[in-house]
């Protein structure tokens, strides 16, 4: 027998042993799902998406149902309910956060949450996403007052850093603030401060209140928004509220005082108002109940987040081109273990004494596999990677 014939016969024997193996059985079961028309269309039209899944059995693939009442793992229940409320305007569904699967286009990100699985919906999916929020828990909940500040100041950009949040949208968020009861509370507190400080300085506060309030209100919507964020996250106390007013009012009041008593004596000024902050705080909260202020700030933050979500999130039937989290809704989905698939490829090629390059992207491989009809064809694709 010639060497070439011997090698060919050996190759056939090897192929037969692989075709009868458990690896081939798993591949065939996976490909059966890939052949479905809806699955083939999804693979043809979309980028592949991934999810990190914990406590997964060591199998290549499985079919799972999207949960109908997801409970939060990182977010507190209060935040979880807020997210559901904020997203309820999309698709007439009140529980988007609870009834969806979190996926990402980034394989490395998915790996941070568990075994990396490629996710393929088995029926018509819907995707909810934001270009400005990569992760609700990390971007909003963990740094909430800073998040409000970035949005209101116009410094927030898309996750790819290409565009800023539109000024026209920011104006609508400012209106949410200035139409709230929390805004009225803040205005009353500022006016009370000006009146008290004017009495100490023996100035007719009516002559300066209008000019001072105009300057104070220049960026007050952002400051009240931050206070609302701190109130919702249970990180606001009466000192924070007082300090927010004192810092802004004090600098503006000092400018007015300087104009009236120029040149101003810094020592006299400091001496005159050294006890003013303590007295202001004490008298302010005798007139304005802090619990009422906090309740109004909580309501404001809820309204603000709901308005932001309407303007920052989008609903689509195709995988969006974003780098952050994506909420996917469908009935069932196929989950394919990326590393188990690669292990199977390596084992098969090891039998043939080949070094697999694994050079093709998984999305390309899955598309090729979806066109196969026989196990022989599956083996051909896998053994040529």
What is the share, in percent, of the chain residues with pLDDT greater than 90? 37
pLDDT score, position 17: 84
pLDDT score, position 5: 47
**Residue 104 in this model has a pLDDT that exceeds 50:** yes
Choose the most confident range, by mean pLDDT, from 246-250, 270-274, 330-334, 358-362: 330-334
- At 165-214, the pLDDT tens digits run 899 999 999 999 999 999 999 888 888 877 777 777 667 777 777 777 88
Mean pLDDT calculated for residue range 299-322: 94
Under a CB-based contact definition with an 8 Å cutoff, are residues 231 and 301 in contact? yes
pLDDT score, position 163: 79
**Residue 263 in this model has a pLDDT that exceeds 60:** no
- At 20-36, the pLDDT tens digits run 888 889 999 999 999 99
Instruction: Give the number of other CB atoms < 10 A from CB of residue 194.
Output: 24
pLDDT score, position 43: 92
Mean pLDDT calculated for residue range 2-15: 59
Mean pLDDT calculated for residue range 370-374: 91
**Residue 145 in this model has a pLDDT that exceeds 90:** no
Residue that wins the pLDDT comparison between 5 and 241: 241
Report the candidate in 192, 240, 199 with the shortest Cα–Cα distance to residue 216. 192
Confidence of residue 306 (pLDDT cuts 50, 70, 90): very high
**Residue 119 in this model has a pLDDT that exceeds 70:** yes
Strands 115-121 and 332-337: antiparallel
Exposure b/e, 282-297, CB count within 10 A at least 16 = b:
eebeeebeeeebbebb
Residue that wins the pLDDT comparison between 330 and 215: 330
Average pLDDT of every residue of the chain: 83
pLDDT score, position 147: 92
Confidence of residue 4 (pLDDT cuts 50, 70, 90): very low
pLDDT score, position 370: 92
Mean pLDDT calculated for residue range 243-261: 68
Backbone angles phi, psi at 354, to 5 degrees: -115, 155
Q: Domain extents for the chain?
A: 3-75+93-125+317-382, 176-313
Confidence of residue 279 (pLDDT cuts 50, 70, 90): low
**Residue 255 in this model has a pLDDT that exceeds 80:** no
Measured CA to CA, the distance from residue 111 to residue 52 in angstroms comes to 5
Record the pTM.
0.83
**Residue 271 in this model has a pLDDT that exceeds 70:** no
Long-range contact set of residues 354-358: C-beta below 8 Å, sequence gap at least 24: 354/383, 356/385, 357/385, 358/385
Mean pLDDT calculated for residue range 134-155: 88
Report the candidate in 159, 100, 108, 107 with the shortest Cα–Cα distance to residue 127. 100
What is the share, in percent, of the chain residues with pLDDT greater than 70? 81
């Amino acid at each position: 027998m010639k060497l070439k014939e011997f090698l060919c016969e050996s190759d056939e024997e090897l192929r037969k042993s692989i075709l009868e193996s458990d690896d081939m059985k798993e591949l065939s079961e996976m490909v059966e799902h890939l052949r479905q028309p809806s699955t083939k269309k999804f693979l043809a039209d979309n980028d592949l998406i991934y999810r990190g899944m914990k406590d997964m059995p060591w199998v290549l693939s499985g079919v799972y149902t999207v949960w109908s009442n997801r409970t939060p793992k990182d977010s507190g229940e209060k935040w979880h309910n807020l997210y559901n409320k904020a997203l309820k305007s999309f698709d007439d569904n009140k529980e988007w956060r609870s009834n969806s699967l979190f996926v990402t286009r980034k394989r490395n990100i998915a790996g941070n949450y568990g075994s990396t699985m490629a996710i393929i919906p088995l029926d018509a999916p819907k995707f909810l996403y934001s270009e400005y929020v990569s992760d609700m828990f990390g971007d909003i909940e963990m740094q909430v007052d800073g998040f409000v500040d970035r949005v209101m100041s116009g410094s927030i950009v898309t996750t790819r850093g290409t565009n800023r949040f539109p000024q026209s949208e920011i104006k609508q968020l400012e209106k949410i603030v200035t139409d709230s009861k929390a805004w009225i509370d803040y205005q009353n507190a500022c006016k009370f401060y000006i009146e008290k400080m004017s009495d100490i300085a023996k100035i007719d506060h009516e002559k300066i209140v209008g000019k001072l309030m105009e300057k104070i209100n220049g960026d007050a919507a952002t400051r009240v928004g931050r206070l609302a964020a701190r109130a919702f996250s249970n990180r606001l106390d009466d000192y924070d509220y007082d300090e927010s007013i004192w810092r802004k009012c004090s600098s503006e009041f000092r400018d007015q005082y300087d104009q009236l008593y120029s040149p101003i004596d810094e020592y006299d000024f400091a001496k005159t108002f050294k006890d003013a902050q303590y007295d202001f705080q004490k008298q302010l909260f005798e007139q304005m109940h802090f619990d009422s202020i906090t309740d109004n700030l909580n309501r404001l933050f809820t309204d603000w987040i709901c308005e932001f979500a309407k303007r920052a999130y989008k609903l689509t039937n195709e995988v969006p081109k974003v780098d952050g989290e994506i909420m996917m809704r469908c009935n069932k989905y196929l989950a394919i273990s990326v590393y188990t698939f690669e292990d199977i490829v390596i084992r098969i090629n090891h039998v043939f004494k080949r070094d697999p390059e694994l050079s093709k992207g998984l999305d390309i491989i899955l598309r090729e596999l979806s066109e196969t009809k026989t196990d022989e064809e599956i083996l051909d694709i896998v053994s040529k990677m």
